[in-house]
Structure 1
Amino acid sequence: MHTWQMQEAKARMSEVVKRAQTQPQDITLHGKSVAVVISRETFNRLSQAQDSLVDFMRRSPLYGADDIVFERDPSLTREVAF
């Protein structure tokens, strides 16, 4: 990943965007990374709607198994102060 200082990135925005088509471009301010420029294709891939937790759990090999027993520790989870 190529790193650009903010001022340089502003002055050469066209080049930053062109390079982002092949790999992410890191933008820094005062030596700290503050932003990453990525291609639209990469953004779309990363932001696709993910399955819900319910869908994930339904794909579990344990889905529908009624004979699973979860043992619980009956002890208190914290000390009670009087």
Structure 2
Amino acid sequence: MSKQVWEWREAENDLERIVEQAQSGLPQIVMRDGAELVVILSHVAYRELIKPKQSIVEFFRASPLVGADLNLDRTG
């Protein structure tokens, strides 16, 4: 398994390997003084992360049940 958490000084010396691992789909965490500082991830993972989320209205409009004759009456 590839390393995923790096201390700052270690990351400075091994940036190429860190980037390669991030590009292979494993986000890399860089820590300084015991605290998580940054996360390095692939551009594909970043684009997925910032992709606009579907609104609830869009969700229901995209439903395969749109236009179906459903009985939604809860009485009885």
Residue 37, structure 1, aligned to residue 40, structure 2: yes
Deviation at 1:52, TM superposition (A): 3.9
Higher share in helix: 2
Distance in 2 (CA, whole Å) between partners of 1:18 and 1:58 is 40
TM norm structure 1: 0.60
Which residue of the partner structure matches residue 5 of structure 1? 7
Which 5+ residue runs of structure 1 have no aligned equivalent?
A: 60-82
TM norm structure 2: 0.64
Distance in 2 (CA, whole Å) between partners of 1:29 and 1:53 is 40
Which residue of the partner structure matches residue 16 of structure 2? 14
Deviation at 1:48, TM superposition (A): 0.8
Distance in 1 (CA, whole Å) between partners of 2:53 and 2:7 is 34
- Give the SS at the match of 1:35: strand
Identity of aligned residues (%): 27
Distance in 2 (CA, whole Å) between partners of 1:49 and 1:42 is 14
**Which deviations, in whole Å up to 9, do the C-alpha atoms of 1:36-82 show, x marking residues without a partner?**
111111111111112346545767xxxxxxxxxxxxxxxxxxxxxxx
Based on CA coordinates, which of the two structures has the bigger radius of gyration? 1
Residue 25, structure 1, aligned to residue 55, structure 2: no
